[in-house]
Structure 1
Amino acid sequence: MATEENPYDAVIIGGGACGLMCAVQAGLRGKRTLVLERNGHPGEKIRISGGGRCNYTNLYTDVGNFVSADPSFAGPVFAGWTVNDTIQFFEQQGITGKEKTLGQLFPVSNNAKDVVAAFTRLMHRYGQQLQTHSNALSVDKLETGEFEVTYEHRGATHGVITPKVVLASGGLPVAKLGASDFALRIARQFGLDIVPTAPALVPLTITGKDAEWFAALSGNSVYCRVSNERISFEENMLFTHWGLSGPAILQISSYWRPGETLVLDLLPAHSLEQLIKTERAAGGKRLVGQLLGDFYSKRLVESLGRFLPIQTKIASLGKADAKRIAETIHRFAVKPAGDKGYDKAEVMRGGIATRELEQTTLEAKKIPGLYFGGECVDMTGWLGGYNFQWAWASGHAIAQAI
């Protein structure tokens, strides 16, 4: 309990989605928190999310939408703070949601700043202290069982004693927004296991002999199914001057490992062999390229001429030719060289191992009073609002315990 000597029930390190929700929910319970945010404004990743529109949850959130050593760990957290809770929470703040695609919910205003403003209002209403330009330097456990948090604020070093500390400082993307490995370093300091981290929801790069072919298609988007041996996603893919991006690629990037080949079905809603048969039955006067032009841009069709007989009349194709064309379109193999790294990644894969945390409170089992929430935990959501739902839900779960 807060006292004159220790005025805060908890210090929350990180004023992003998880930290802000945790502070507000703690305030609802009559607790007083100090939120240390290294940026000049809270919620910077909220502000830029969804192209500045903030896809703040997904209607279909389930543990199956998460990459983790143990996705089921999130079950009780999501049970404690559901998607409906998120919707109602924001509606109470005047933010009504609208579904875009695949359950993705955005504010009707299309303005992520409204989401941040809602939290800053609530922080003020419930007497929570938000201190920006405050860079956490260390967290130490005292003999009293309390913690001392040391931080830098505008060139001066300060310390605060608190019974509980919440690490909600995010992951490694994006450095210009203040991303750091602080939560991971504190976890290691206290002997907690870390699941190896890597960029996730990140564009993939193509190098070598195929790089020029992909670069020439930069700006072209195609609806496709992208697969590896573990999973597949069916959404738009974007060619770029350095490789591949777009929702389908970002999704599978969380499951891709260096050295793996991805298989692209460039026409998932149709059977190209059947389309060729239909064309042949109608006389087969059109060229292969004209048939492909029904589905792709002129530039993509011309580029596919590297692999396919686009100038050949369909009537002239043999069965083997038709099969080869279909195999190329439906099983286009790509071997990425790597990814674009943390500065282009939307989230971090891996983090503090869930087995180190209590399942309902996210308190470190070995270190009473120390909590981890949001992106720094090994719980990485798909593209489309899932990571925000984890941030809100984990912030809520922690707030019930501090």
Structure 2
Amino acid sequence: MNTKTQSHYDTIILGAGAAGLMCAGFAAAKGGRVLVVDHAKRAGDKIRISGGGRCNFTNMFAGPDNFICQNKHFAKSALARYTQWDFIELVAKYGIAYHEKTLGQLFCDEKATQIIDMLLSEAKDADIALNTSIDAIAHDGFVFRATLSGRNVTATNIVVATGGKSIPKMGATGIGYQIATQFGLPLTDTRPGLVPLTFGPQELEWIVPLAGTALDGRLEANGTSFEEALLFTHRGISGPAVLQVSNYWVEGDTVYANLMPNASIFDALRRARADNGRRQMSTALAALFPKKLATTLSENLKLSGNLADQSDKALQDLSDTLHALPLKPTGSEGYRTAEVTLGGVDTDALSSKTMESKQVKGLYFIGEVVDVTGWLGGYNFQWAWSSAAAAGRAIADHP
């Protein structure tokens, strides 16, 4: 098909990212006329930079419990009907070598562009128009009418796969939310997700000198905790554990950091006291934590004297503090560095089986634009694949 002359499509997919490209392959599989449009110069730009350029394309443990949504049951259908194993099988079919990094996270051995090339190959029967703006979308009661970079086309179906607001430097605009609102679909509140947390001047006074210091810890926010790496930065805290809890943290809340999640600090300090009671407290802590952190903790907690001077109660109190160190962020780094957008198109307005709007026939929403957000570690890609497959299959079966 020639995208310059074709005026009607069975399906127009807005967005040539992970979800959009995946959906195109399914929607065009049975001969459907499909057009994918994107304002970017290249397809799959977020895929290209993901996972340090190696694309953490799914997670072996992906399931409904790894996703945040106001309706906790919504994602079950799509995730069950196109699983991580289905995508892994597709990756293997294309001979793309991959490996597990940690916690079920799967990465390409080579480049993320292999995933983009695979998706483009799967969508080979679809037309793809890049550098194309979405000027207007409307429905006349029979078909959708779209103006794309000044060109007027019609379609039986529109799939909104435009992503969220995260990483605006890559062109994220939130246009998908505007389209949802235009057609009367409700939105849930949106905010940055999987994002570093920032602090006010008082906390930064002791955090900034620790910039670059990392350790394995467990962070907890609002009853949900993650045990991964914690990194201190010039603006606050980051690292996988922080990005994970940022999805559950709400402004004004306190985050609790367990600085030694897999052992008792009390027991470690008691053993150190028995071995050498003359050791200074800061020295004892330096045997358990990075030196800069040990020094800062000693100063902030006003620890003085040596181990022999500390009673069991004093050591227990210190241990309790370090197993649940309270940290009160004032905010996050925002959409600038957020990996995803929390919230989005309210799932109550969508079919969980097809991702189609319940009130506007032929209008679908998939991927990040929907109020479904995964944990860090390949889960959001899996939601892109699963939701795209749900919509694409429904379209192919009922064009």
Other-structure match for 1:71: 72
Counterpart of 1:401 in 2: which secondary structure? helix
- Structure 1: gaps spanning 5 or more residues: none
1:219 aligned onto 2:212 = yes
- Please say if residues 15 and 37 of structure 1, whose CA atoms lie closer than 8 Å, have aligned partners that are also in contact: yes
What TM-score do you get using the length of structure 1 for normalisation?
0.94
1:164 aligned onto 2:162 = no
Other-structure match for 2:41: 40
CA displacement at 1:290 relative to structure 2: 2.4
Structure 1, residues 104-163: CA drift from partner, whole Å, max 9, x if none?
A: 000122x11111122223333xx21111001112210013x21011122xxxx1121010
Give the 3 Å change call, closer, same or farther, for CA 148–7 of structure 1 in structure 2.
Answer: closer
Other-structure match for 1:9: 10
CA displacement at 1:311 relative to structure 2: 5.3
Structure 1, residues 308-328: CA drift from partner, whole Å, max 9, x if none?
A: 455532111123321232122
Q: Which residue, out of 173, 178, 188, partners 1:180?
A: 173
Counterpart of 2:394 in 1: which secondary structure? coil
What TM-score do you get using the length of structure 2 for normalisation?
0.95
Give the 3 Å change call, closer, same or farther, for CA 19–5 of structure 1 in structure 2.
Answer: closer
Other-structure match for 1:255: 248
RMSD over aligned Cα, in angstroms?
1.5
- Please say if residues 287 and 310 of structure 1, whose CA atoms lie closer than 8 Å, have aligned partners that are also in contact: no
Opposite residue 255 of structure 1, the aligned amino acid is Y
Q: Which residue, out of 253, 258, 261, partners 1:265?
A: 258
1:358 aligned onto 2:358 = no
Other-structure match for 1:149: 146
Deviates more, 1:198-207 or 1:288-297: 288-297
| Partner Cα distance (2:244, 2:94) in 1 | 31
CA displacement at 1:47 relative to structure 2: 0.6
Deviates more, 1:375-384 or 1:322-331: 322-331
Counterpart of 1:259 in 2: which secondary structure? coil
- Please say if residues 15 and 38 of structure 2, whose CA atoms lie closer than 8 Å, have aligned partners that are also in contact: yes
| Partner Cα distance (1:390, 1:115) in 2 | 15
| Partner Cα distance (2:369, 2:6) in 1 | 30
- Please say if residues 71 and 379 of structure 1, whose CA atoms lie closer than 8 Å, have aligned partners that are also in contact: no
Other-structure match for 1:87: 88
1:343 aligned onto 2:340 = no
Structure 1, residues 336-373: CA drift from partner, whole Å, max 9, x if none?
A: 00011101100000000111001110000000000000
Structure 1, residues 34-83: CA drift from partner, whole Å, max 9, x if none?
A: 00011000001001111111100000001111111012111110111011
Other-structure match for 1:59: 60
Q: Which residue, out of 299, 303, 312, partners 2:296?
A: 303
Other-structure match for 2:28: 27
Other-structure match for 1:121: 121
1:318 aligned onto 2:311 = yes
- Please say if residues 87 and 97 of structure 1, whose CA atoms lie closer than 8 Å, have aligned partners that are also in contact: no
1:138 aligned onto 2:131 = no
- Please say if residues 147 and 163 of structure 1, whose CA atoms lie closer than 8 Å, have aligned partners that are also in contact: yes
| Partner Cα distance (1:327, 1:307) in 2 | 15
| Partner Cα distance (1:165, 1:231) in 2 | 37
1:395 aligned onto 2:395 = no
Counterpart of 1:19 in 2: which secondary structure? helix
CA displacement at 1:283 relative to structure 2: 4.3
- Please say if residues 261 and 335 of structure 1, whose CA atoms lie closer than 8 Å, have aligned partners that are also in contact: yes
| Identity between Structure 1 and Structure 2 (%) | 39
Opposite residue 121 of structure 1, the aligned amino acid is S
Deviates more, 1:365-374 or 1:173-182: 173-182
Counterpart of 2:180 in 1: which secondary structure? helix
Q: Which residue, out of 326, 342, 351, partners 1:333?
A: 326
Counterpart of 1:258 in 2: which secondary structure? coil
- Residues paired across the two proteins, number: 391
Deviates more, 1:226-235 or 1:168-177: 226-235
Other-structure match for 1:196: 189
Opposite residue 215 of structure 2, the aligned amino acid is V
| Partner Cα distance (2:345, 2:301) in 1 | 48
- Structure 2: gaps spanning 5 or more residues: none
